[in-house]
Amino acid sequence: MGGPTGDRMIRVDMTNQTTSIEPYPEDWKFLGGRTLSARILLSECDPTCDPLGADNILVIAPGLLAGTSAPTSGRISVGGKSPLTGGIKEANAGGDPGQDLMKLGYRCIIVKGQPADPDRRYALDITGDGVTIIPADEHKGKWNYKLIEDLAKTYPPKASFISIGPAGEMKLSGASVACTDHDKDRRPARHAGRGGLGAVMGSKGIKYMSVDATKRPARKAENSKEFSAMSKKYTKEYQEGPGQEPFPKWGTSALVTEANSIYTFPYKNRVEGRSPDVETLDGMRIVESFEERGGGMHNCMTGCIVKCSNVVNDKDGNYKTSALEFETLTLLGSNCGIASWDDVADLDRLCDDIGLDTIETGAAVAIDMDSGAKNLLREIAEGTEIGKAIGNGAVATGRRQKHKRVGTVKGQALPAWDPRPLKAAGVTYCTSAMGADHTAGLVVDPGQSIDDIAQASQEAQILNTAIDSSGFCQFLGTSIQEVSEFYSEFFGEKVAREQIADIAWQCMQEEWEFNRRAGFGPEDDEMPATMKEDGIGPEKTVWDIPQEVVNKAYERFEPREELFTQKPS
């Protein structure tokens, strides 16, 4: 038994301009999202390849439960060898493309090769009948919002899109992949941001992908009655419980004050852990603006019950951006010395439009803070020298500016959650194959014992890998135990929680092996000198964890009950 029959996967060869539809392997049935991306990349991609060359592989993989009635379960993974880190990368996004691909029965898209003419642009049109490569030169250079506005005139009103902006076309290492959200205007506001995978998509000559699942029903579980009942029960309990708390109710922007209180709201390129502008950057100011400007909270994907995405309007009530998240308020706001959430909203819109990771871009801009940030972002799209440096991320900008304070691990900029007070999060940044990425396994516990941090990091990494593979949004707060219950009813067979944890651990091992083959060594697991030397807070806290403690995260601990019952941070 097991899941819907007839699942398929799409293969695209951009060198030969061919596509094929293949049956999905039965022995991959428990893989989805990140675990599926890792398996494909380790099996089919040469880890030593040029990330922007023909031999790299772009993987688009919805989570396993995407397209079902499970709540908030439609997230999608984008994978490839990162042009930013040189290692394996998975970046996760919301929006409707993941839901739509799975409703069509497509478990993944695997793109190889690249066009002979690098100036050409193409699109992939995906329907239940297959996939077609079409010319898209008319859309060359378009910013994401204009692109989707134009595509909406010719595609069905329920089609969703995956696209890149000019940063991806220019193959900049900070480029993101945009997915359209559930709003009727299909805004390209949900980004697989980290690792420069937009540049990989650009190197394939692909400007956008359309996914048309019009009138396709949700995927049916083997135990459909039980699966439906479980989904309804989980939804009811969430809405009556955790969904009432400030964070789910108002989104990640509401975390600003809390983060500032524990010295993980970096200020001016991380010289301090707190910002004097916390009041004017606090996401609750966004909430207060809803009454005067309009906007509000919404669901970014079909079936989302969290609704943590804010729609931010300008002073005239016109749409500006969605969603203005905590990470963006931190890296493009406080970290750049910008005091107003309204100004950060402008920068967020520019990043989404140009197609840039707000974390990497904020870190890069902070290194060049003496210039005006809005002008710097526009220079990226114009292809100026400094614009290209910032578009290529923090390391490239630091190298150009000969700046010593460059907070990166494995070439990727540190996110908002600072490793100096959050030691277990720092272990994740050092040991995750993704580099400095909080979504790989965040632990928010500034008082944690040094004896506990390696295991806490490892457990968070296993949990987040499992969640990123399921399709559930981390903000839903699903545990491995709960994932196992959903999987068991979906597949019509017992899927033990230990099995899910083992699959996640295997994925992490495959990612580490990819990086090993790509040339990574122990030296790449080091925290940068600036984190070891530049103290923050009243105690001038620095990163002071011995490398032998960090390395413990590579050896699997005996699973504790918390591994199966804890929620993602």
- Which of 166-175, 316-325, 395-404 is predicted with the least confidence, judged by mean pLDDT? 395-404
Can you spell out the DSSP letters for 296-317?
A: EEE-SSTT-S---EEEEE-TTS
Asked if residue 3 has pLDDT above 50, the reply is no
98, pLDDT greater than 90: yes
Contact 388, 414 (CB under 8 A): no
pLDDT value, residue 487: 98
Task: Please report the pLDDT score of residue 5 as a whole number.
Answer: 57
Half-sphere exposure of 199 (CA within 13 A, CB side): 26
Q: How far is CA 330 from CA 169, 195, 333, in A?
A: 27, 19, 5
- 3-state SS, 520-569, equals CCHHHHCCCHHHHHCCECCCCECCCCCHHHHHHHHCCCCCCHHHHHCCCC
Whole-angstrom Cα distance, residue 406 to residue 384?
22
Say if residue 293's pLDDT is above 60. yes
pLDDT tens, position by position, 517-538: 999 999 999 999 999 999 999 9
Statement: residue 77 has pLDDT above 60: yes
Q: How confident is the model at residue 248 (pLDDT cuts 50, 70, 90)?
A: confident
Residue range 211-228: average pLDDT? 96
Nearest C-alpha neighbor of 542 from the set 459, 445, 456, 419: 419
What are the tokens at 224?
């459909």
| CATH of region 8-211 | 3.60.9.10
389-429 pLDDT, tens digit per residue, is 999 999 999 999 888 899 999 999 999 999 999 999 999 99
CA-nearest of 399, 408, 446, 416 to 527 is: 408
pLDDT digits (tens, 9 = 90+) for 540-551: 999 999 999 999
pLDDT tops 80 at residue 374? no
Could you write out the three-class secondary structure of 249-289?
Answer: HHCHHHHHHHHHHCCCCCECCCCECCCCCHHHHCCHHHHHH
pLDDT band at 216 (very low <50, low <70, confident <90, very high): very high
Distance spanning both ends of the chain, measured CA to CA? 34
The predicted pLDDT at position 436 comes to: 98
CA distance 214 to 212: 6
Please report which confidence band the pLDDT of residue 237 belongs to, taking 50, 70 and 90 as the band edges.
very high
Could you tell me the two tokens for 196?
């420069």
For 271-292, write each residue's pLDDT tens digit.
999 999 999 999 999 999 999 9
* Residue 371: predicted pLDDT: 42
Please, which pLDDT band fits residue 368 given cuts at 50, 70 and 90? confident
Q: Where are the domains of the chain?
A: 8-211
pLDDT at 1 (0 to 100): 34
* Whole-angstrom distance, CA of residue 110 vs CA of residue 58: 6
Across all residues in the chain, what is the average pLDDT? 96
pLDDT of 369 strictly over 80: no
Q: Report pLDDT for 246.
A: 83
Residue pair 79/58 in contact by the 8 Å Cβ criterion? yes
> Which tens digits make up the pLDDT trace of 117-160?
999 999 999 999 999 999 999 999 999 999 999 999 999 999 99
Asked if the model's pLDDT at residue 373 lies above 80, the reply is no
Residue 20's pLDDT is 98
pLDDT at position 553 is 98
Q: How confident is the model at residue 247 (pLDDT cuts 50, 70, 90)?
A: confident
* pLDDT score of 378: 86
Whether the CB-CB separation of 369 and 269 falls below 8 Å is answered with: yes
